[in-house]
Homo-oligomer: A and B are copies of this chain.
Amino acid sequence: MREPRVLTAAEAILEAQDQALAADPAVFLMGEGAADPKGIFGTTAGLVDKYGPARVMEMPVSENGFTGIAVGAALMGRRPVVIHQRVEFCLLAMEQLFGNAAKAHYVSDGRHRAPLVVRLVAGRGWGQGPQHGQVLENLFALVPGLKLVLPAGPADAKGMLLAAIADDNPVIFLEHRWVHYVSGEVPEAPLPAPLDGPRRILAGGDVTVVAASYMTLETRHAAAALAAEGVAVDLFDLRVARPLVTDAIQESVRRTGRLLVVDTGWKTFGLGAEIVARVTESCFADMAAPPRRVGLPDHPTPSSRALAEAYYPRAEHVAGAIGALVGLPDARVAAVHATLAAERRQVPLDIPHPSFKGPF
């Protein structure tokens, strides 16, 4: 029997770009650090040696400019992959993204295409703080014409990145830094994973839970702990936040009568708001309990780990929300909470993985 081929998501992203560069001469990378010795947390490591600096382009510190340049090249049929080491750097490029990239196809009545990928790495780690620690997934979901992809593990990180590069639309590929560390089986072949919406990753009849990006992992832990208490979660990994496809979620809620959405952004005006609203509008009659959301509280990301601990929800909080939703008795919720919290305490709360040595 063949050994499973295990990669981290960071390695999977590297492999996807390597294969895309090899397969299509129109593909090229642009990023501050894309060609430097650290290669965007290793996700572009070695590519400049293999493909040269014209295809793995090191960028000046000019996010708005090179995003617009990427859009212009894309309109000419090139396939740029723009990379930002932090989501926040892309705030400088909103006009190009929301204006030119998102609208080129529409305003040209379908004649222009902007096959552009924007990789955004969401910072979390040691004290990244207010301006290096935001995910802002809701921001990138706002505008029609953009796609927003949120990989939660290595297989999707590779497959969805390949699909994003092959897509004729501008795609925001939002990588949570802590997802980079997750490992799992990844096929070697360059198989795109369709950008077609949520995937059920656990089947269960008690409650429908939709999770996004890194929080899919925390939620999976929560669901596993709850399974021991007899709670069966129908768990979806959101994967694609725009265009937002909720049919499978609605079908599930019609069965379970209960909905929880867990995302990595602020709860207020977050992805969860739209999912809750849409599902409630269409499944109201089948719902047995009010929907719920788990998200970040309404304040900036604090740097100090003492404050960050209060900021980031974890598996135990997700489990608490699910427990409340299905009416699990308090004592059993408390037991699950305790188990999960104890597990989590084995690694400090501000690091994603034992291999992590800070600060990123």
Contacts and interface: CB of A to CB of B under 8 A. Distances in A.
Interface of A: 64, 88, 91-92, 94-95, 98-99, 102-103, 106-107, 129-131, 136, 138-139, 141-145, 242-244, 266, 268-269, 271-274, 276-278, 280-282, 284-285, 287, 289-293, 298-300
Contact of A300 (B91, B106, B271, B282): B106
Nearest to A283: B290
A227 B104 CA distance: 44
A307 to B, nearest CB: 10
Contacts of A300: 102-103, 106-107, 144-145
A271 B270 CA distance: 10
Given A142-B138, A290-B280, A92 B64 contact: yes
A198 B143 CA distance: 26
25 contacts: A88-B99, A91-B95, A92-B94, A94-B94, A99-B131, A103-B130, A103-B131, A106-B299, A107-B129, A107-B131, A107-B300, A138-B142, A141-B269, A142-B266, A144-B266, A144-B268, A144-B300, A269-B269, A273-B274, A273-B276, A273-B277, A273-B278, A277-B293, A282-B290, A284-B289
A269 B107 CA distance: 22
B281 A291 contact: yes
Nearest to A280: B280
Nearest to A299: B144
Contact of A281 (B88, B278, B282, B290): B290
Number of copies: 2
A113 to B, nearest CB: 15
A103 B298 CA distance: 12
Contacts of A287: 284
Given A242-B268, A242-B269, A281-B292, 11 more contacts: A64-B92, A103-B300, A106-B130, A106-B300, A138-B269, A243-B298, A273-B276, A276-B276, A277-B291, A281-B293, A284-B291
